[in-house]
Amino acid sequence: MAAETVGDSVESARREVTRKVMGMKGVVGTAIGLRQGKPCIKVYLEKDDAGLRRRLPRTAGGVPVDIEVTGGMQRL
């Protein structure tokens, strides 16, 4: 049951971050990932932008947020 609770809280944090950031110019996606073997929320950027990085959350629901520059993405 504990694993389900952790998974649910990480998914809830991902949804929260997605709602906050997907309308921001330069953000191309979000996902659940790992940071040092523990769950994190990934926010993918089209290009590195210090101003945008400052506006992104550092954590959501106690889950850390990682930022990766991936370039543009297209939905399949």
pLDDT tens digits along 12-70: 999 999 999 999 999 999 999 999 999 999 999 999 999 999 999 999 999 999 999 99
Domain ranges of the chain: 2-69
The amino acid at residue 52 is L
Question: Cα separation of 19 and 35, whole Å?
Answer: 22
Question: Cα separation of 31 and 20, whole Å?
Answer: 13
pTM for the predicted model, two decimal places = 0.85
CB 59 within 8 A of CB 43: no
Report residue 12 as tokens.
């809830």
pLDDT at 1: 41
Which option is the CATH number for 2-69: 1.10.287, 3.90.480, 1.20.140, 3.30.300? Answer: 3.30.300
- Taking the CB of residue 52, how many other CB atoms lie within 10 A of it? 18
